[in-house]
Structure 1
Amino acid sequence: MSRVEVCSARIPPCSGRAVELEAGDELVVIDPMGQQVSDLTAFSRDDTAEYLSSGRSIDYASKLWLSTGDTLYSNRSTPMFTILEDTCGRHDFTLTPCSKKMFEIIYGETEGRPGCEGNLAAALAPYGISVDRVPIAFNIFMHVAFDAEGKVAVLPPLSRAGDHIRLRAEMPLIVAMTACSAGQSNNFSYKPIDYRVERLAG
């Protein structure tokens, strides 16, 4: 069966957006310029106490880096997404969304940018989801490495212009995404993220 595009948009640098998906919809997240991270989180539309869980997803996949064929699970162990395509192959599901406090602690910034945490919360606010409920996100295109002693390094993304990941929604979802605001995550260049939603025709 053919699919039709039901919406598409560009997320400007250092901002966020939310979109609602039906079960079976396919969400394509695209890095149009290369080396730009998108933090993605999701909540069940039927009960927003159910949310995308990094811990459950990593546990059931038995690996840190999830890609084509892997399932992303909720905190209730329910499949939320299946990864259908992935042209980059490296994303992170361990580090929390950047925030005002993180910018202060890591970068010494004092201007109070909202970061992905604040941008996700702003996108989710119309659904009654507050900043304290923003979980660890699926950090699309983010390149995190660990050495033998467990030390964490955030490296430049491996994504090139036009790379994408295609996710199939396995339940009705509220999804929030960002064009990440953390310099280290994006090789210190802030760029947009594109996305589109495709649905079975008819």
Structure 2
Amino acid sequence: MPGPDSADDRAHDPGRAAPDSSRIVVPPQSGRAFQVARGDLIRIVDPQGQQVADLWAIVTEPALDWLSTAQTRDINERLFPIVGQAFYSAAGQPLLTLVEDASPGPHDMLFPACNPGLYAHVGLPGHPNCHDNFLNALASRGLALPFVPDPVDFFQNSPPQPDGRLEVLASINPPGGYVRLRAECDLTLVVTACSVDFHPTNGDACTEIEVHIERDQPVR
């Protein structure tokens, strides 16, 4: 069900102007960076199903800060937020609120981004990876971080097992499954379409992710 201040709420609020909308396509095994403003709604869509989307959020003003999966787990006292709860920064600032989850889940905040070392370990040196795609996407916006924070892995099916193991299974997200977030401050977001293709994490093949932004105010 949509959370507070959903797109439907906005459409029926005569005191609020209709938001501008924009669409960003993240091709398979790649990443894109873009800016959102406070109040914008961000819908992350898996058009073909079973594709994991990694998300990062960066704050540049008044000081550099970033989405922290550890702080988010700690503040919410959950492995993953439920609708109405926020994703928090390393400094404890709410950055994004989960306002709708139109997927069966599950989602993940325990795994790092896939990286060159992972692919080298399985005999695939030089393979596209979310670690490098994040850094390259961020650089395209003139930004840099001294490290790669752990991402939010939407649609990743890797729930902890009863014996404590972490096992990544094939995503069960259907075609068109999505989540909707609300920006609680001005942010640079990076979304990558997970690159793992040696394991059924992303089903039979890596596919694209779409990001739809409903802007509170038109971009000038």
Q: Provide TM-score, normalisation by structure 1.
A: 0.92
Task: Give, in whole Å, the separation in 2 of the partners of 1:47 and 1:150.
Answer: 40
Task: Give, in whole Å, the separation in 2 of the partners of 1:90 and 1:140.
Answer: 8
Task: Give, in whole Å, the separation in 2 of the partners of 1:48 and 1:191.
Answer: 35
From 13, 21, 25, give the equivalent of 1:6: 21
Task: Give, in whole Å, the separation in 2 of the partners of 1:85 and 1:140.
Answer: 13
CA contact (8 A) 1:18 1:175 kept: yes
Task: Give, in whole Å, the separation in 1 of the partners of 2:78 and 2:92.
Answer: 16
Task: Give, in whole Å, the separation in 2 of the partners of 1:179 and 1:155.
Answer: 17
Aligned pair count reads: 199
CA contact (8 A) 1:67 1:90 kept: no
Counterparts in 2 of 1:73-92, with a 5 A limit?
73-88=88-103, 89-92=105-108
Instruction: Determine if the alignment matches structure 1 residue 141 to structure 2 residue 155.
Output: yes
Residue 5 of structure 2 is matched in structure 1 by: none
Q: RMSD of aligned C-alpha atoms?
A: 1.6
Counterparts in 2 of 1:1-202, with a 5 A limit?
1-47=16-62, 49-88=64-103, 89-105=105-121, 107-110=122-125, 112-125=126-139, 126-130=141-145, 132-183=146-197, 184=199, 185-200=201-216
Q: Provide TM-score, normalisation by structure 2.
A: 0.85
Task: Give, in whole Å, the separation in 1 of the partners of 2:63 and 2:147.
Answer: 10
Which structure is higher in strand share?
A: 1
What is the one-letter code of the residue matched to 2:115?
S
CA contact (8 A) 2:108 2:159 kept: no
Q: What percentage of aligned pairs have identical amino acids? A: 31
Please state whether the residue corresponding to 2:70 is helix, strand or coil.
Answer: helix
Please state whether the residue corresponding to 1:97 is helix, strand or coil.
Answer: coil
Query: Using a 3 Å threshold, how does the CA distance of structure 1 residues 149 and 14 change in structure 2: closer, same or farther?
Result: same
Task: Give, in whole Å, the separation in 1 of the partners of 2:156 and 2:63.
Answer: 26
Task: Give, in whole Å, the separation in 2 of the partners of 1:137 and 1:47.
Answer: 22
Please state whether the residue corresponding to 2:191 is helix, strand or coil.
Answer: strand
Please state whether the residue corresponding to 1:166 is helix, strand or coil.
Answer: strand
Please state whether the residue corresponding to 2:54 is helix, strand or coil.
Answer: strand
CA contact (8 A) 2:106 2:159 kept: no
Please state whether the residue corresponding to 2:44 is helix, strand or coil.
Answer: strand
Unpaired segments of 5 or more residues in structure 1? none
User: Per-residue displacement from partner, 1:84-128 (whole Å, max 9, x unpaired)?
Assistant: 0001132101100001111122x2212x12300100110001332
Task: Give, in whole Å, the separation in 2 of the partners of 1:48 and 1:101.
Answer: 31
